[in-house]
């Protein structure tokens, strides 16, 4: 198990809602019914936004089986189930998955399932025509993240859509970059960061990894997704992310466009 997987298991067991959206109101000790409803409403909004962008690219497309990579407590898997035939949440954390399962409303129980992923993705489902992921890859070291993105796109059905989110920019300040990197490796740097951002001193490190857009576009392209739309978003502390959305072409049009 990698160090980031261990950290996520701890977050899932101790403070899962805060770990997903990192707003103080979502700490376990503050959560109530109203805040939980607000938390899940944000997921419905995020899914709506992405599916609106997808509909602009292809009016006739309908989600059949959807995968939600890094599903956490099901904030996005549940609204995805409402907009598809079946939604499958994937995560490395058992405790996140347990919480997600408990959050599924009775009327959706038959339309949602969850799978614990292992390192080499051998249990990745086959036959899905939508792959979605939001605020997940940024927490995975780049080398592993690129390999996962490639695998997820490789197995996507032809004619299916992918919408994958990555952080691609951090403030251009040497100290910021250095502290971020050192906090991944040295526990007391992580403690200092926790003090600075007012988290409990020994809270597990939540890695932030900055991906390269050109590398990502190449991975999409190598998997038959030539035309992509990028929706940018601003995170806290000057970080910038991008949701890359695109349709996997049928083999025949892949060959036709290969010279482009």
Residues that bind ligand SAM (CB under 6 A): 4, 8, 12, 20, 43, 70-72, 75-76, 90-93, 96, 117, 134-136, 139-140
Return all residues near 214 (Cβ < 8 A) that are at least 6 apart.
Answer: none
119 DSSP 8-state letter: T
Alpha helices in the chain (DSSP H): 3-14, 16-21, 33-57, 77-82, 94-103, 142-154, 174-185, 187-196, 213-222, 251-257
Kindly tell me the sign of the dihedral angle through the C-alpha atoms of 37, 38, 42, 44: positive
CB of 9 to ligand SAM, least distance (A): 8
CB of 32 to ligand SAM, least distance (A): 19
Nearer to ligand SAM, 204 or 224 (CB): 204
CB of 116 to ligand SAM, least distance (A): 9
126 DSSP 8-state letter: S
Nearer to ligand SAM, 6 or 254 (CB): 6
CB of 80 to ligand SAM, least distance (A): 11
Radius of gyration of the chain (CA): 18
Give the whole-angstrom CA distance, residue 156 versus residue 154. 6
Give yes or no for a contact between 246 and 220, defined as CB atoms under 8 angstroms apart: yes
CB of 15 to ligand SAM, least distance (A): 12
- The residue sitting closest to ligand SAM, measured at its beta carbon, is 72
Nearer to ligand SAM, 70 or 249 (CB): 70
Nearer to ligand SAM, 117 or 168 (CB): 117
CB of 251 to ligand SAM, least distance (A): 29
Nearer to ligand SAM, 123 or 253 (CB): 123
Nearer to ligand SAM, 130 or 221 (CB): 130
Give the whole-angstrom CA distance, residue 28 versus residue 31. 5
- How many Å is the maximal CA-CA distance in the chain? 57
Give the whole-angstrom CA distance, residue 123 versus residue 131. 15
Residue that has been written with the tokens 């490796």 in this structure: 185
Nearer to ligand SAM, 117 or 203 (CB): 117
CB of 44 to ligand SAM, least distance (A): 11
């Amino acid at each position: 198990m990698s160090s980031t997987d261990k950290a996520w298991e701890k977050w899932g067991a101790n403070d899962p809602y805060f770990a997903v959206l990192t707003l103080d109101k979502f700490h376990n000790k503050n959560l109530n019914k109203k805040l939980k409803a607000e938390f899940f409403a944000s997921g419905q909004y995020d899914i709506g936004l992405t599916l609106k962008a997808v509909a602009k690219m292809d009016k006739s497309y309908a989600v059949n089986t959807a995968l939600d990579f890094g599903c956490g407590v099901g904030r996005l898997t549940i609204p995805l189930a409402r907009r598809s035939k079946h939604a499958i949440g994937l995560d490395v954390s058992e405790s996140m998955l347990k919480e997600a399962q408990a959050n599924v409303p009775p009327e959706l129980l038959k339309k949602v399932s969850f799978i614990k992923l292992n390192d080499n993705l051998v249990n990745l489902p086959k036959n899905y025509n939508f792959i979605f992921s939001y605020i997940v890859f940024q927490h995975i070291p780049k080398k592993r993240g690129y390999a996962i993105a490639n695998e997820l796109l490789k197995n996507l059905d032809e004619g299916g859509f992918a919408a994958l989110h990555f952080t691609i920019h951090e403030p251009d300040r040497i100290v910021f970059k250095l502290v971020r990197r050192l906090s991944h490796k040295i526990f007391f740097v992580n403690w200092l960061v926790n003090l600075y951002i007012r988290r409990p001193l020994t809270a597990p490190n939540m890695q932030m990894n900055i991906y390269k857009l050109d590398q990502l576009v190449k991975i999409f392209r190598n998997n038959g997704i030539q035309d992509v739309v990028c929706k940018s978003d601003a995170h806290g502390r000057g970080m910038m992310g991008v949701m890359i959305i695109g349709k996997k072409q049928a083999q025949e049009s892949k060959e036709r466009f290969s010279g482009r």
